[in-house]
Amino acid sequence: MKTTIVTILILLIRTVMYAQVSPEIELGAKGVMSGNFNIDNTNTSSAVSDFSDSQLLLGFKQKLYSNWRGQMVFGLQFPDADSNLGQVFFNHIFLKIENQKNIIKIGRSTTQTILNEFPTLRDDDAMQFNYSLNPFSGGMNTQDNQYGNVIEYTHIFKQRYHLTVHGENFVNLSEPNNFKLNSFGTSFLYIVPESQIWNRNILQRIGFSYNNYVIDNFSDLLKNILGTVTLNLKPDPVHFIDLKLQTIYNVGFTGINDINNYSNYVRTPSFSSFGTVRYLYRKYERPLIQASLGFGYKSFSLANDSKQILGIFNVFYRLGENFDIGFQYRYTQNNGQVENLFGRQEQRFQIAFVYSVNQLFNSQFDDRNSILNLEHNYIK
Amino acid sequence: MNRRNFMKYGAMSAAGIVLFPVDLFADKTKTENKKHFPQPLSFTKKDGWKEFEISVNFLEHEFAPAMTIHTLAFNKSVPGPEIRVKEGDKVRVIFKNNTELNHTIHWHGIYVPWRMDGVPYVTQMPVMPGKEFVYEFIAEPYGTHFYHCHWGTLLHMQSGMYGSIIIEKDEDPIKKIFPYDREYTLIYSAHDVNFLRNELNSMLERMKERSFLMKNGRFSPERFNLFDTKEELEKAIENGYQPPYLVNRRSSAELPVPNWFTVNGKSYPSTPNLYIKEGENIRVRLINAGTENHHLHLHGHDFWMVCDDGVPLPQPWQRNTVSLSPGKTYDIIIEGKNRGIWTFHDHDTRRVTNNGLYPGGNLLALIYEDLPKEERMVGNMKKMKQKNPNTKINILPKIALDE
């Protein structure tokens, strides 16, 4: 016992003595504050002040031996008031190691349920159309679909081809204390790095994903197939236009003909598509105005009468670096059996302030996707 | 014994002595050492002109073993090659820009025609990506000078765009006073490698856009931050233009703080060494192409300061420390009067560090190559008065990175 205590003390002292490597510290914050005005099909209107999707991220990163880099990220988010998640939801708590061609991530983080980034005010504004939905969720919140306890490995070929295999534990409404992996899948994406997006003639991103949710056991899998593409319609540094499309084929289970609850909604076979056309005006090499128009459609093969439609339009104006004012209009329509779940239609008008910052302190090394590393040899 | 303990005992037994790598007296070492000085640039003679070719490229450059950064390099070396001409020569330099950034060459201390001075938008347009510019001038005045990029000067000089230009006379005035055969050029610089990385990335992104727009005839003063007059700038500001130096636009609000210090593009233990023999004079040309003051001190000797900014001093000064400020050149003569291995380093010891750790930076050595074997550092410890019988170390370590 005495020896153990002495050993621990020595280890602690050595840790203090040799703790010389200071990490890069990354602070990310996003505040999304909107005034929402809703009108449903019964002409009932409501107005709320909404700060959901606001979040704070804190990351630490440093170089490891053998040219790897290690990272730890903590993140918290303020969810919808009726989400059953409490005042604060910890959406990121993960460790990641990576080198030029490999990324391994373990912990709570974003899941592989979406393959693209769409220009909506909040990430979940078109969730029923552009996310593969968590079949274990009760549908009370959107975080159940966006975040999970993940273990992921990604290999990057030729700087742009990302092959990922992943497993997740999604929140399970009926078994909230079960942390076994209940999903796995793989994805393959071609992604043009951010710094090179505007000067690629056509193709900016393309890929697919094959996700499997383990409902009861491995012979009882709910399969989702996702495909996405982003095309540069006008590749220009000042007036930039792109088109983003994503489709999700939920193979579903045969026999679920009635969509009378949320569980059936996510497990019955469905086909959903979502797309946006975005115009971005960049003045002085910084975004100034962005406008986008989006459309979503979802159909259910075993419930022919049911379908969902979404129209979304928004425009943002940059008041200053990182700070935007925006307006968004969203129209949703649910026909057939889904009408009972989500109401027949809703119109939502939103006026919002958005402030997002990303600050790196104690900068020490470059990113894999920097121009220097992409075009002038990667420095390990 | 692990490395840390080894170095601890090594430091105890050699306290105060800075150690240098490899066998300093081996022919191979001396041959390798020559590569750490600016390499002479060859020329062709055309119509009475000495014609040189200089290009600039991105280069992965190693400051010290395992420490590599992206640099901008004249003729793929940091520093660039040494231009050596005679006073009165007609010099033509064809400069080719192989990067996606703008550049010029400024001839520091040379009496060039003003149109050849290399100041963008003052004496010439910048040399744009893929373009050439031809500099022509008469080589004068005599002495030690240097050249460097004058576009984005703070960034581009730190990134490696500098080199020496030496203008000689047939009858050298210094040689008359201090006859010598060997001479060395040492170019000092200081680098904030984080600033370099971040700013180069940022500048590359901006230049990609600007080049694209220029090619399509879409130049605009506000986007390129180029105005013909101050009034035009003020009018643009009235109409909402934000100058990039404002904190609400692009300014970082922080000046670079160098954390690597180089001589001829290398930090200790990769710095070049100066070889001398007993009774020999060597001339050392000191150039500061960086942003920091360097207080250069030679152990065990005084030296003669003979030229200031290339100009021969009417009365050489005897001293052992010289303060080399940014943009200065000094020529010194070292007389081989005290044999041994002596350090020559910045006495602002913050600059004798690599990324904050001593030893490093611009530390180098003056080495008497005819030092008797029994006096050489890498000899038998038993013959020295320092003894550490418990360590069982017979020779001094050849390289020290952790004191």
Interface contact B35, partner A, CB < 8 A:
no
Q: Scan residues 215-274 of A and list those with Cβ closer than 8 Å to B.
A: 237-238
Q: A3 lies in a domain? A: no
Last residue of a domain, one of B169, B201, B231: B169
Instruction: Give me A194's structure tokens.
Output: 């951010």
Residue A81 has a pLDDT of: 77
Residue A176 has a pLDDT of: 85
Interface contact B58, partner A, CB < 8 A:
yes
| Strand ranges of the sheet holding B143-148, from the earlier edge strand across to the other edge | B83-86, B162-168, B143-148, B106-108
Interface contact A117, partner B, CB < 8 A:
no
Residues B31, B49: one domain?
Answer: no
* Residue A141 pLDDT level (bands cut at 50, 70, 90): very high
Find the CB nearest A372 among B197, B222, B249: B197
Count of H-run helices and E-run strands, chain B: 7, 20
Other CB atoms within a 10 A radius of the CB of residue A106 amount to: 14
Check CB contact under 8 Å for B198 and A363.
yes
**Residue in A closest to B207 by C-alpha:** A285
> Which range has highest mean pLDDT (A364-373, B198-207, B230-239, B274-283)?
B274-283
Tell me the per-residue pLDDT of B7-47, one tens digit each, with 9 for 90 and over: 333 333 333 344 555 578 889 999 999 999 999 999 999 99
Check CB contact under 8 Å for B248 and A370.
no
| CATH number of the domain enclosing A195 | 2.40.160.10
Residues B127, B156: one domain?
Answer: yes
Residue with tokens 């576009």, as numbered in its chain: B151
pTM of the model: 0.89
**Residue in A closest to B213 by C-alpha:** A237
Q: B85 lies in a domain? A: yes
Average pLDDT estimate for A87-112 = 96
- Which of A228, A242, A259, A230 minimizes the C-alpha distance to A132? A228
Check CB contact under 8 Å for B204 and A320.
no
Find the CB nearest A195 among B70, B200, B205: B205
Residue B16 has a pLDDT of: 38
Domain that holds residue A283: 23-375
Q: B73 lies in a domain? A: yes
Interface contact B8, partner A, CB < 8 A:
no
Cβ-Cβ contacts under 8 Å, B206 against chain A: 285
> Of all residues in chain B, what percent carry a pLDDT higher than 90?
77
Query: Identity (one letter) of the amino acid at B147?
Result: Y
Q: A16 lies in a domain? A: no
Q: Measure B241 CA to nearest chain A CA, in Å.
A: 9
Q: How many domains does chain A have?
A: 1
Check CB contact under 8 Å for A363 and B248.
no
> Of all residues in chain B, what percent carry a pLDDT higher than 70?
87
First-to-last C-alpha distance (Å) of chain B: 17
Q: How many residue contacts between A and B have a Cβ separation below 8 Å?
A: 56
**How many Å apart are CA A291 and CA A300, to the nearest integer?**
31
Interface contact B206, partner A, CB < 8 A:
yes
Check CB contact under 8 Å for A195 and B201.
yes
Q: A288 lies in a domain? A: yes
Average predicted confidence (pLDDT) for chain A: 92
* CA angle B377–B383–B385, rounded 5-degree value: 90
Q: Which residues contact A244 (CB under 8 A, 6 or more apart)?
A: A116, A117, A118, A119, A205, A228, A229, A230, A275, A276, A278
Q: Residue B282 belongs to what H/E stretch?
A: strand B281-288
Q: B122 lies in a domain? A: yes
Instruction: Give me A150's structure tokens.
Output: 């993940």
Q: Does residue A21 or residue A313 have the better pLDDT?
A: A313
Check CB contact under 8 Å for A284 and B213.
no
Instruction: Give me A232's structure tokens.
Output: 């540069």
**Residue in A closest to B216 by C-alpha:** A236
Q: Does residue A380 or residue B338 have the better pLDDT?
A: B338
Instruction: Give me A363's structure tokens.
Output: 């900068």
Residue B248 has a pLDDT of: 79
Q: B198 lies in a domain? A: no
Q: Decide: B55 and B133 in contact? Cβ < 8 Å.
A: no
Task: Select the residue from B68, B155, B201 to test the A interface by mutation, using most A Cβ atoms within 10 A.
Answer: B201
Tell me the per-residue pLDDT of A201-251, one tens digit each, with 9 for 90 and over: 899 999 999 999 999 877 889 999 999 999 999 999 999 999 999 999 999
Domain that holds residue B292: 3-35+258-391
Tabulate helix, strand, coil % of chain B (nearest 5): 20, 35, 45
Residues B18, B91: one domain?
Answer: no
- For residue A356, CA distances in Å to A26, A31, A33, A325 come to 13, 6, 11, 12
**pLDDT above 60 for B230:** yes
Average pLDDT estimate for B192-198 = 95
Q: A300 lies in a domain? A: yes
Residues B30, B61: one domain?
Answer: no
Tell me the per-residue pLDDT of A39-65, one tens digit each, with 9 for 90 and over: 988 888 888 888 988 999 999 999 999
Instruction: Give me B101's structure tokens.
Output: 């950034």
Residues B375, B264: one domain?
Answer: yes
Interface contact B224, partner A, CB < 8 A:
no
Residue B5 has a pLDDT of: 37
Residue B6 has a pLDDT of: 33
**Residue in B closest to A320 by C-alpha:** B248
Tell me the per-residue pLDDT of A2-32, one tens digit each, with 9 for 90 and over: 555 555 545 444 544 555 688 999 999 999 9
Check CB contact under 8 Å for A363 and B204.
no
Going through B149-216 in order, the beta strands assigned E by DSSP cover 162-168, 182-191
Q: B335 lies in a domain? A: yes
Q: B317 lies in a domain? A: yes
Residues B19, B121: one domain?
Answer: no
Check CB contact under 8 Å for B205 and A371.
yes
Q: How many domains does chain B have?
A: 2
Q: A8 lies in a domain? A: no
- Provide the ipTM: 0.88
Last residue of a domain, one of B138, B169, B200: B169
Residues B85, B142: one domain?
Answer: yes
Task: Select the residue from B197, B207, B358 to test the A interface by mutation, using most A Cβ atoms within 10 A.
Answer: B197
Torsion angle of C-alpha atoms A322, A275, A280, A202, degrees rounded to 10? 120
Check CB contact under 8 Å for A284 and B223.
yes
Check CB contact under 8 Å for A363 and B197.
yes
**pLDDT above 70 for B391:** no
Average pLDDT estimate for A33-42 = 91
| CATH number of the domain enclosing B263 | 2.60.40.420
**pLDDT above 90 for A356:** yes
Other CB atoms within a 10 A radius of the CB of residue A345 amount to: 16
Task: Select the residue from B223, B252, B358, B401 to test the A interface by mutation, using most A Cβ atoms within 10 A.
Answer: B223
Residue B25 has a pLDDT of: 87
Residue B253 has a pLDDT of: 64
Check CB contact under 8 Å for A284 and B69.
no
Q: Does residue A248 or residue B252 have the better pLDDT?
A: A248
Residue B234 has a pLDDT of: 94
Last residue of a domain, one of B142, B169, B196: B169
- Which of B327, B333, B21, B73 minimizes the C-alpha distance to B188? B327
Instruction: Give me B297's structure tokens.
Output: 């001190």
